[in-house]
Amino acid sequence: MPTGRVLYVIACGASAASDVEVFVRLAQGEGWHVRVIATPMGAKFLDMERLADLTGGPVRTDFRRPHETSNGLPPADAVVVAPATFNTINKWALGITDTVAVGMLCELLGMGVPTLAVPQVKAELAGHVAFRRNLEALRAMGAHVLFDPAAPPEARMPGWHDILAELNSILDD
């Protein structure tokens, strides 16, 4: 078992997922033991082998099998969902746990684990009524959301340094 704080990074299928290694390294630099979980689409953007080497554990992409007694993950002290897609935000808010990533998000939020969602969505999706409602629903459930729908496309998802600063701010409260 790792010593120190454990951070789950949940990556969904958006372009920023291809750079999640940068965030993992930044968090590790601040003493976090990081584990990565990905949606099936998110996994397509990741270098799974490199992330496994970097974090000391495989990237989780699927539910455990019936004969597996443990999910192999140390308990999380915090969660960052970045990039969080339109699909994941909506399924998470509605409790649709058809992927291990969304299932874990539902459980962890229910357990009170500090959770930061950082959506990366197109303007057309950011303005969708279901997305706006579901962001508010997640906030009401205790999730923190870092998202500015009015930001220009290249800045709609903050940079990895800003995401880590926001996580630290949440944990310092």
Q: What is the pLDDT of residue 151?
A: 86
Q: 58-68, pLDDT tens digit by residue?
A: 999 988 777 66
Q: What is the pLDDT of residue 61?
A: 94
Q: What angle do CA 152, 155, 156 make, to 5 degrees?
A: 75
Q: What angle do CA 102, 63, 97 make, to 5 degrees?
A: 30
What are the chain's domains? 6-65+73-172 (3.40.50.1950)
- Is residue 1's pLDDT more than 50? no
Q: What is the pLDDT of residue 47?
A: 97
Q: 38-75, pLDDT tens digit by residue?
A: 999 999 999 999 999 999 999 999 887 776 656 678 99
